[in-house]
A and B are shown apart, each in its own frame.
Chain A
């Protein structure tokens, strides 16, 4: 047991800095993906013919095995943080895009008719009606993506992007369970806490009039 505590005490600063790198990788990727996916999803709801094509293309990216996608990045952008963020972002776009599209399309047509009939412009309809009503569906997509990205970011170590994956692979190389745990447990804790925080955030952001519909 002492051996565990000693290792932990010695590795503590490293665990912290790797957790920091891991969070940075994940957060930046989710943010970039969000800035791409949500506006794109909004755009597609008024360009339905394009929607199918684009969602199919984005889904196709999702089918590439993650390890391979990180590998493909090397000849294109080399190794390090940038290719890792690009790969993570590519994975993160689809769920958010899909949820934005589905959420906005799911707004009852009668509300759109009422809004148009009262003289809302398209932009007002989006900001006053469609987005607020679709918000919890979009947020569910964000949550899914956040969890997925944090897990996936462990592989970024293979292209030298750092993160908690570094500790895990080192543990595997040394066949040292304690070291593997030092990388794995923080990943799990990150996933759990981020999921929880986003859940609370969504609850707080949901307008009172829609809370009774929330099953989460």
Chain B
């Protein structure tokens, strides 16, 4: 056996009466990897996911989880051993964060002390301070924080498999990027088998160790993201992923090409969160966005640390510096280099002042590095 198998579909069909969603379907999901399932809507990807924890039953065929035919396993206890994260997050509003995270251990009969310990560990793991968040309620948290708790909840009983059904698609773009990064980091440590359904192709390619592309209930291609882009199985793959993803060679001539995402924060977020984000990215400053993703200005690490001493509950919006320069996507690189000398961060905005990315000194250096690398190789 070259690769341990976490989930296996054997000749599975699913018939909803109105037609077959899956027909004689076979698939193996390797252990310890992030596997994303993508495909046009109605291709059966969510059905597939829900068959793994028996929220859906196959009409024919078998699903095996770690070698066991789950058709003969009690559905309730099976589900307690598999993590589950959904798009609508689904935190219970009447329970504290601690109670929410501890729910599966509680269902499995873990005692209070044990649950408490586990919650502490998990909150630390997802980067939220246990003392601060344990007793809070879901509505007091931002969408991104809520879904972090959703992920923590799925990890609570230490399952080896976690199912995620478009978990980040209801989040704002900035939290989404942040959570994607965190998920990748998390799994480098935890090595869970994560089956991740998404309709966001960027997301699928970014987080996956393996991408499974479905169409009309059949696997079109199952490979690593790099392979998928390098050797698309057929024309459908190219069409579905978008021909622009199979690039010739882009001349890196404008701000758009060297900007990065993730270095931004909502004006409603507490300044502590800004500090965490800065630390996580080892950055000096962040772009601040308003309710509709518009650029409000920037905050730097000095201002945050200063204010944090006085009032840790302050919102980022209260200390934002609005007199900052920003770039457009098509600002030429020469001008970008000129400007970055005097700024810690340069937000990049579109025509309607919405933030689309940021340029920092390190992103400029990285871009230069990439450029030189390419030159060496083409020389």
Check if B11 is an interface residue, CB within 8 A of chain A: no
Nearest-CB residue, chain B, relative to A112: B90
How far is A113 from B46 in the complex, measured between Cα atoms in Å?
13
CB distance from B104 to the nearest CB of A (A): 5
Q: Which residues of A come within 8 Å of B, CB atoms?
A: 108, 110-111, 113-121, 124, 128-129, 132-133, 207-210, 212-213
How far is A119 from B79 in the complex, measured between Cα atoms in Å?
5
Cβ contact within 8 Å between A132 and B94: yes
Nearest-CB residue, chain B, relative to A109: B88
Task: Using A113-B86, A124-B107 as known contacts, say yes or no to A209 and B79 having CB atoms under 8 A apart.
Answer: no
Chain A residues whose C-beta falls within 8 Å of the C-beta of B153 in the assembled complex? 118
Check if B95 is an interface residue, CB within 8 A of chain A: yes
Nearest-CB residue, chain A, relative to B53: A117
How far is A92 from B138 in the complex, measured between Cα atoms in Å?
36
Q: Which residues of B come within 8 Å of A, CB atoms?
A: 53, 55, 76-81, 84, 86-96, 103-104, 107, 137-139, 153, 163
How far is A113 from B163 in the complex, measured between Cα atoms in Å?
13
Chain B residues whose C-beta falls within 8 Å of the C-beta of A116 in the assembled complex? 55, 79
CB distance from A4 to the nearest CB of B (A): 51
Cβ contact within 8 Å between A133 and B94: yes
Cβ contact within 8 Å between A209 and B139: yes
Nearest-CB residue, chain A, relative to B163: A117
User: Could you jot down 10 A-B contacts, CB within 8 Å?
Assistant: A108-B90, A114-B90, A118-B153, A119-B77, A119-B81, A120-B107, A121-B76, A129-B92, A209-B95, A213-B93
Cβ contact within 8 Å between A118 and B89: no
Cβ contact within 8 Å between B139 and A212: yes
Cβ contact within 8 Å between B139 and A119: no
Cβ contact within 8 Å between A119 and B94: no
- Specify the main secondary structure of chain A where it touches its partner: helix
Cβ contact within 8 Å between B103 and A118: yes
Nearest-CB residue, chain B, relative to A212: B139
How far is A207 from B86 in the complex, measured between Cα atoms in Å?
24
Report which of B80, B86, B88 forms a contact with A119, defined as CB distance below 8 A: B80
How far is A113 from B93 in the complex, measured between Cα atoms in Å?
14
Q: Beyond A114-B92, A118-B79, list 5 extra A-B contacts (CB 8 Å).
A: A114-B90, A119-B78, A119-B79, A128-B103, A209-B94
Chain A residues whose C-beta falls within 8 Å of the C-beta of B93 in the assembled complex? 111, 133, 209-210, 213
Cβ contact within 8 Å between B95 and A118: no
How far is A14 from B55 in the complex, measured between Cα atoms in Å?
64
Report which of B84, B96, B138 forms a contact with A118, defined as CB distance below 8 A: B84
CB distance from B109 to the nearest CB of A (A): 12
CB distance from B126 to the nearest CB of A (A): 17
Cβ contact within 8 Å between A210 and B94: yes
How far is A110 from B166 in the complex, measured between Cα atoms in Å?
13
Cβ contact within 8 Å between A209 and B107: no
Cβ contact within 8 Å between B94 and A114: no
How far is A121 from B78 in the complex, measured between Cα atoms in Å?
12
Cβ contact within 8 Å between A118 and B94: no
Chain A residues whose C-beta falls within 8 Å of the C-beta of B96 in the assembled complex? 208-209
How far is A212 from B76 in the complex, measured between Cα atoms in Å?
33
Task: Using A207-B94, A212-B139 as known contacts, say yes or no to A110 and B76 having CB atoms under 8 A apart.
Answer: no
Chain B residues whose C-beta falls within 8 Å of the C-beta of A121 in the assembled complex? 76
Report which of B76, B79, B89, B137 forms a contact with A208, defined as CB distance below 8 A: B137
CB distance from B270 to the nearest CB of A (A): 18
CB distance from B307 to the nearest CB of A (A): 27
Chain A residues whose C-beta falls within 8 Å of the C-beta of B79 in the assembled complex? 116-119
Chain A residues whose C-beta falls within 8 Å of the C-beta of B163 in the assembled complex? 117
Nearest-CB residue, chain B, relative to A209: B137
Cβ contact within 8 Å between B53 and A209: no
Chain A residues whose C-beta falls within 8 Å of the C-beta of B87 in the assembled complex? 110
Nearest-CB residue, chain B, relative to A111: B90
CB distance from A130 to the nearest CB of B (A): 10
Task: Using A116-B55, A119-B77, A212-B139 as known contacts, say yes or no to A110 and B88 having CB atoms under 8 A apart.
Answer: yes
Chain B residues whose C-beta falls within 8 Å of the C-beta of A118 in the assembled complex? 79-80, 84, 103-104, 107, 153
Report which of B78, B86, B103, B137 forms a contact with A110, defined as CB distance below 8 A: B86
Report which of A111, A119, A210, A213 forms a contact with B104, defined as CB distance below 8 A: A119
